[in-house]
Amino acid sequence: MDRIVITGGIPLHGEVEISGAKNAALPILASTILSGGECVITNLPRVVDVLTMGKLLGILGAKVQHEGNRAVIDAGTISSTQAPYDLVKTMRASVLVLGPLLARWGEATVSMPGGCAIGSRPVNLHLAGLAKMGAEVSMEHGYIRAKAKRLRGAQIYCDTPTVTGTENLMMAASLAEGTTVIENAAKEPEIVDLANFLVKRGARIVGAGTDVITIEGVRELHGSDHDVIPDRIETGTYLVAGAITRGAVTLNRCRPNHLDALLMKLREAGVELKVEQDRIHLNAASRLKGIDIRTLPYPGFPTDMQAQMVALMTAAEGTSVITETVFESRFMHVEELRRMGAEIKIEGTRAVVTGPTKLTGAPVMASDLRASAGLVLAGLAAEGTTEILRVYHLDRGYERMEEKLRGLGATIARQKEGAAQAGTR
């Protein structure tokens, strides 16, 4: 398996271009299933999850031409409604094909996503919503099977705001008979991007980005073009890279207004930020202050930035308390950060970080996508060499990360399997 080797302690300087949002690209690609006709999607990030979604659409029988940041898809040729385990197990977001397959083709069989490193991650709310719309949903041999001649509009209340659940239901409701109201919907910008794409294709959706989304079902949708929004988590990760190395970085082609909570927290920690419409300049202070953070659904502080902020807080003065409220066991990076010298205690859902500590390079193991990003950031700040194993997690969600960081002056390289020396763990 590949590993990433970083020699830390170099302040990062320069500019980075932000890629398209993985979490917007995935539902947008899945939604092409809802109609025939050509959909041209641009600003797709070149990451493994996006390739996997393209592959899944191909397996279902859609015509997919995917090159670089652009895909041309026509799902009029779909011949299968089954999403196999082999693909779903590599990417939980494959469950996003459930709503569109069911709404357009009357049935869907999707492998049940398993647990993962950050918790049990159920899909009960996706299923309950579809059942409310008249689908017969059952579980057989590890597969979710859903059937409905035509879905009916319904009033749906989500017990907790779920991002992919809201997206699945919004896509399904677009072709249902009558009006669907999703209450306590998730409000993430990626949901708004999906709704904008669906509306361009003839869907009638109001309220995306608020906690009540109303969808008036239509008979059919058509193809359209769409440019995916910039990735707010990638943006946040490079901001922390600048801050943790005490550097000065400019992020281009991003959407600062999707990052309000993070920008406020970085300022509270003493980081200097200059924000323009689609750019952020960061100048790290020589001293960082410890702050408290609580992850919440959007517009609260994103759980996908929690690991990166835990890494940053190891460099801040005083005690920081980071509370994870979205996922149950999302502190796998903490043990690895401790091996690099961090002082962090886990108390239930809280990580209590005492800083500043001088991190020292060590071999560490990535457990999930954002935990890996946290370890890369720690490695950039640490004295000496950090080796990060299991980097396939990073490749799922960050486009050309080493190249972008090298562009900012980091000493970072990928060792291909075989070329790597025997690791210690």
**Site of interaction with ligand UD1 (CB under 6 A):** 23, 26, 93, 119, 121-126, 160, 162-165, 186, 190, 303-304, 326-327
Q: What share of the chain is helix, strand, coil (3-state, %, to 5)?
A: 35, 30, 35
Residue 121 or 200: the one with the smaller Cβ distance to ligand UD1 is 121
Residue 161 or 223: the one with the smaller Cβ distance to ligand UD1 is 161
User: 417: which DSSP letter?
Assistant: T
d(CA 221, CA 324): 39
Residue 163 or 172: the one with the smaller Cβ distance to ligand UD1 is 163
Smallest separation, CB 370 to ligand UD1 (Å): 7
Smallest separation, CB 244 to ligand UD1 (Å): 21
Output the six-digit token pair for 109: 């069989």
Residue 40 or 117: the one with the smaller Cβ distance to ligand UD1 is 117
Smallest separation, CB 261 to ligand UD1 (Å): 12
Beta bridge partners of 6: 386, 412
Residue 93 or 373: the one with the smaller Cβ distance to ligand UD1 is 93
d(CA 261, CA 264): 5
* 407 burial type by CB count under 10 A (0-12 exposed, 13-18 middle, 19+ buried): middle
Smallest separation, CB 379 to ligand UD1 (Å): 22
Give catalytic residues, as residue numbers: 116
Tokens 């809280």 found at: 350
Smallest separation, CB 169 to ligand UD1 (Å): 10
Smallest separation, CB 165 to ligand UD1 (Å): 5
Smallest separation, CB 160 to ligand UD1 (Å): 5
d(CA 102, CA 208): 22
- Cβ neighbours, 10 Å, residue 284: 27
Beta bridge partners of 188: none
Question: For 229-258, b where at least 16 C-beta lie within 10 A, e where not — what string?
Answer: bbbbbbbbbbbbbbbbbbbbbbbeebbbeb
Q: Are 182 and 129 in contact (CB under 8 A)?
A: yes
Q: Which residues contact 416 (CB under 8 A, 6 or more apart)?
A: 2
Output the six-digit token pair for 124: 């009960």
Q: How far is CA 346 from the centre of its chain?
A: 24
Residue 170 or 249: the one with the smaller Cβ distance to ligand UD1 is 170
Tokens 């306590």 found at: 184
d(CA 77, CA 353): 53
Closest CA to 168 of 179, 156, 177: 156
Residue 124 or 138: the one with the smaller Cβ distance to ligand UD1 is 124
